[in-house]
Amino acid sequence: MTAQTDTQGSVTTVYKVTGMSCGHCEGSVSGEISEIPGVSSVKAVASSGEVTVVSEAPLDEAAVRAAVDEAGFELVGTV
């Protein structure tokens, strides 16, 4: 997993998600991932398929995968 620790003690991870095509898709993915404990922000970009997640600590990829699946999309992995 590629994660970058920020100076504030948070971790930023960029995931690749397939199937997003619009703002509603971005909102669905962001909403599901933001429910994971420890997540402080999520920014999904449909045009690139990238989802940037800032969290207190590195996230369990299985939890992120489950959240993306719940939104109806597929997590490819980290960028």
Rounded to whole angstroms, the Cα distance separating 22 from 77 reads: 20
Specify the higher pLDDT residue, 1 or 10.
10
Task: Judge whether residue 76 has pLDDT over 70.
Answer: yes
Rounded to whole angstroms, the Cα distance separating 32 from 39 reads: 11
Which structural domain range is residue 55 located in? 4-78
55-71 pLDDT per residue, tens: 999 999 999 999 999 99
Q: How many other CB atoms are there within 10 angstroms of residue 25's CB atom?
A: 18
Specify the higher pLDDT residue, 45 or 5.
45
48-57 pLDDT per residue, tens: 999 999 999 9
Taking the model in full, what pTM does it have?
0.90
CATH of the domain at 14: 3.30.70.100
Contact 65, 72 (CB under 8 A): no
- As for how many domains the chain has, the answer is 1
Helix H or strand E segment including 24: helix 23-34
Q: How long a stretch of residues is the chain?
A: 79
